[in-house]
Structure 1
Amino acid sequence: MVDIATRVYNHKWKIDPIVRSLIDTDFYKLLMCQSVFRNKRDTHVTFSLINRSKDIRLAEIVDEGELREQLDHVRSLSLSRGESTFLRGNTFYGKRQMFRPDFMEWFEGFRMPAYHLEKRDGQYELTFEGKWPEVMLWEIPALAILMELRSRAVLKGMGRFELQVLYARAMTKVWEKVEALQPVDGLRLADFGTRRRHSFMWQDWCVQAMQEGLGDKFVGTSNCLIAMRREVEAIGTNAHELPMVYSALAGDDDALKQAPYDVLADWHEEHEGNLRIILPDTYGSEGFLRDAPDWLAGWTGIRIDSGDPAAGAEMAINWWQSRGEDPREKLVIFSDGLDVGKIIELQAQFKGRVRVSFGWGTMLTNDFRGLVPDDRLKAFSLVCKAVEADGKPTVKLSDNPNKAMGPALEIERYKRVFNVGAQAEMDVVV
């Protein structure tokens, strides 16, 4: 097992780059990239870093030179032979050759495109522009780099023993969470913590702890590189990016209203089984489910990623029942801001009514709350989103209006088109 504290104390840049591989990313990103490569490969998209936690002034914490070094390192990476073999030959979700030969040939020759970096008002403005399949792959590494550089900046100057004690306390914290989850009957839990992790080594340690402590209750990780190294399942389906870009490309209001379903129609052609998971909240879950075509009711499940999770699950159950489906055969994946207490509560509330699973993110891989003075390692809300497609702005409404993004006039238009009524605001922690 890696001695994380010693490695942090003796950081050697080439030994410990923040992003070590093109597959040090979320599995769903590669699945979506293949879909985009097939259906929208020439769409021009802009991604932008968005720091929702304005009190964390990243440009005053993270050194610009170090940031550029890490971003440039990612641009030097290419798929290794072993990584290519893993993607080409492994079985994912029970399916061999998940990734098509034409996509793999493209990915094997791929290098990350250029980035644009500026400082403004204590924050970094980091953007990526280009063809959608290329720039979309920046999202996860960009977030991981900023999160870890912030962690390194806080840890810089700590002594060897201080770091040993810090990581011992953090390990104890994770293990106490594992112990609390061990008695939970029927639990199915995956690591979703790549994008806002404390560090790669820490995420890897957390996955190993879950493997040992939870056994079969731990079903996998979203991180492809860790999945390959630790021989666990790579977990993930699709994300808000797809409907956001499809919707921006819509020519009129009718096409806009149809766009989220067009995304899933394309997905339906490519995937089956547990990859057919609906993410309904991009423009409000209630309206999405109300207007959804009947064939979507036959999909395997729904992922709940904003708003009140219990209310979202009840909405899904009612929708399946209204469409003649048995909710007990359906899967609900909770994935928004989870920690142990909420996981245990939701498992007890919905066990037996639906099949329940959890994607546990930041509070697994970056919970250092209370472990350093002034809570300077507390996780914060950093995202990297598609903000423009073929010159048109993207919009996200969410089931939590505090997660909404896009120009004000477009947000109002989307609310009208998708018939979004009053929404309850909830704090965005991560």
Structure 2
Amino acid sequence: MRLNQVIVSLLETDMYKFSMGQAIYHQFSDYKTTWSFKCRNEDVHFTDEMVDEIKEQIKAYCSLRFTEEELEYLNNVKWIKGSYIDFLRLWQPRFEDFEITSDAECGLAIETKGTWLNTSMYEIPTLAIVNEVYFRMQYSYDELFESFKKRLDDKVNKLFSGEYNLGSFSEFGLRRRLSSEAQELAIQKLSGVKYPASAFVGTSNVYLAKKFGLTPVGTMAHEWIMCVGQGNHKHNPAYSNWYALDAWVREYGVLNGIALTDAITTDCFLKDFQLTYATLFSGVRHDSGDPYEWGDKMIEHYKSLGIDHRGKTLLFSDSLDFERADKLNSYFKDRAKVAFGIGTYIANDTDVPALNIVMKTTACNGMDVAKISDTTGKGMCKNPEYINYLQRCIDWRMQYGR
């Protein structure tokens, strides 16, 4: 490797990989998935040297194992069960599950295939590696890091001055961070202090949460709804949310309950988010579409069910910066518990644009799966015919079904 090792611990992933991972282990251990990398930036190109470095970094990641200290840390999370800890004690990433080539328009193609238990865990470390390799090898990293530090200091100063009133916010930037060094510095500067109108409550990066004594934050991602709802070929995919919510409640009851609404559109989600689930889940997460319209819609839905919306959490996590979060908090703060997961703006705000890269599930158990979000262009599926089928199922249910 030309660079220092990017991922140094198997805890260096987002918390929702463990919450989903435990439920996968207990209920869907035989599911197999394919994941595909995509760079949405039209002006980005990965050189052959970058691709070679990414391969070496992923090989190094695959050599890691959980330590007993790390497992003990996870064992103290109240919803993690001993059976899952025992599985993690034996678990290891497999480089054989990866196919990494330069055969893509952007110069980098990555695909992983294998059990969902394995491939789910690869997404976040892979994206973190791709980001750090790209920025260190494409630019003068030291200059980028200086611009990052200046912007970070400006953010912290505005929090101290009370210019921003964010209420509760967490850091969600691991997958798109400038570097491990940058993310650690951001969390170090944001944590352990009191702001007049904001509270930094945690990070999705479990490794850094452990290091700084913070709360590791995260529940479910789109893969959960896509694979649980569409991976069983007997399921009508328009009911994906029902299958996903049902499996989650079987695993966690009332614990660990923030539901993601937009995997197959929020309107379809609300068909299944009726009294039982709306009561059991402590709140919902926004990840696409107009956040004000979404929040108003969720509050009205809680009202229609006779549920006190002021006790429910609205977690916003879509392309946020402090200014957007401040405005959203001002709009919703008296009507719900408002929280924010802020990623790229904290972990990769420099003088050059951040990468817009994703790694998504594209097949489960040999069949296409897809996300149809509330924003055009945020979905990802290799088969347009499946997208058409899924959309027709959703449209029929919205017009005629329950």
TM-score (norm 2): 0.91
**CA shift digits 1:174-228 (9 cap, x unpaired):** 1212232342457101010111101111101100111145557010010010011
- Measured on the aligned residues, the alpha-carbon RMSD in Å equals 2.1
Q: Is 1:256 paired with 2:232?
A: no
Partner of 1:197: 177
Aligned to 1:57: 45
SS at match of 2:108: strand
What amino acid is the match of 2:83? D
Of 100, 112, 118, which residue of structure 1 is paired with 2:81? 100
Helix, strand or coil at the partner of 1:72: helix
Aligned 1:132-211 pairs, distance under 5 A:
132-156=116-140, 163=142, 166-182=144-160, 183=162, 184-185=164-165, 187-211=167-191
**Corresponding residue to 1:393 among 368, 381, 388:** 368
Distance in 1 between the 2:221 and 2:137 partners? 31
Q: CA deviation at 1:65?
A: 2.1
SS in 1 for 2:216: coil
Tell me, yes or no, if structure 1 residue 417 matches structure 2 residue 354.
no
1:427 corresponding residue in structure 2: none
Partner of 1:401, secondary structure, is coil
- Hey, what's the Cα distance between the residues in 1 that align with 2:308 and 2:395? 27
The letter for the 2-side match of 1:401 is: T
Q: Which amino acid aligns with 2:23?
A: S
1:419 Cα shift?
Answer: 2.2
C-alpha distance in structure 2 between counterparts of 1:176 and 1:54, whole Å: 30
Q: Is 1:38 matched up with 2:26?
A: yes
Contact kept? 2:148, 2:348, Cα under 8 Å: no
Q: Deviations over 1:342-376 (max 9, x none)?
A: 011101111111110000001110011x3xxxx3x
Query: In structure 2, what residue type is equivalent to 1:190?
Result: S
- The separation in 2 between residues aligned to 1:357 and 1:40, in whole angstroms, is 31
> Which residue matches 1:288?
269
Output the amino acid matched with 1:106: F
1:191–1:360 contact (8 Å) kept in structure 2:
yes
Name the counterpart of 1:426: none
* 8 A Cα contact 1:327 1:353, kept in partner: yes
Are 2:223 and 1:241 aligned? yes
- Residue 79 of structure 1 is matched in structure 2 by 66
Aligned partner (choices 283, 289, 312) of residue 330 of structure 1: 312
CA displacement at 1:117 relative to structure 2: 1.1
Structure 1 residues 12 and 82, CA gap change in structure 2 (3 angstroms):
farther
C-alpha distance in structure 2 between counterparts of 1:274 and 1:189, whole Å: 20
Measured in 2, the distance between the counterparts of 1:342 and 1:61 equals 38
Aligned partners of 1:186 and 1:398: how far apart in 2? 26
What whole-Å deviation, never above 9, does each CA across 1:218-240 have from its counterpart, x for those lacking one? 10010010011111111111010
- Using a 3 Å threshold, how does the CA distance of structure 1 residues 63 and 23 change in structure 2: closer, same or farther? same
Q: What does the per-residue CA deviation read over 1:106-132, in whole Å, with 9 as the maximum and x for residues that have no partner? A: 111111122111112342111111111
- Please state whether the residue corresponding to 2:147 is helix, strand or coil: helix
Query: Pick from 3, 14, 28: which aligns with 1:26?
Result: 14
**2:55 pairs with one of 65, 68, 71:** 68
Query: Bigger CA drift: 211-220 or 262-271?
Result: 211-220
Q: Structure 1 residue aligned with 2:302, among 312, 320, 325?
A: 320
Amino acid at match of 1:87: L
- Note if contact 1:62-1:149 (Cα within 8 Å) is conserved in structure 2: no
Residue number in structure 2 paired with 1:379:
354
Confirm or deny: 8 A CA contact 2:227 2:364 kept in the other structure.
yes
**Partner amino acid for 2:203?**
T
The answer (yes or no) to whether the contact 1:178–1:214 under 8 Å persists in 2 is: no
Distance in 2 between residues matched to 1:276 and 1:106, nearest whole Å: 23
Cα deviation for residue 256 of structure 1 reads: 2.0
Q: Which residue pairs with 1:428 in the alignment? A: none
TM-score for the superposition, normalised by structure 1: 0.86
Whether 2:35 is the aligned partner of 1:47: answer yes
Distance in 1 (alpha carbons) for counterparts of 2:284 and 2:273 = 13
Q: 1:61 to 1:117 in 2, by over 3 A?
A: closer
3-state SS, counterpart of residue 402 of structure 1: coil
Write the deviation string for residues 362-415 of structure 1: whole angstroms up to 9, x where unpaired: 1110011x3xxxx3xx20210111111111011110000211222212112212
One-letter amino acid matched to 1:107: L
| Segments ≥4 residues shifted beyond 6 Å | none
Which of the numbers 287, 292, 301 marks the counterpart of 1:310? 292
Tell me, yes or no, if structure 1 residue 116 matches structure 2 residue 99.
yes
Q: 1:403 aligns with which of 358, 367, 378?
A: 378
Which residue of 309, 322, 329 corresponds with 1:347? Answer: 329
Pick closer, same or farther for the CA change 1:118–1:51 going to 2, 3 Å. same
2:316–2:341 Cα contact (<8 Å) kept:
yes
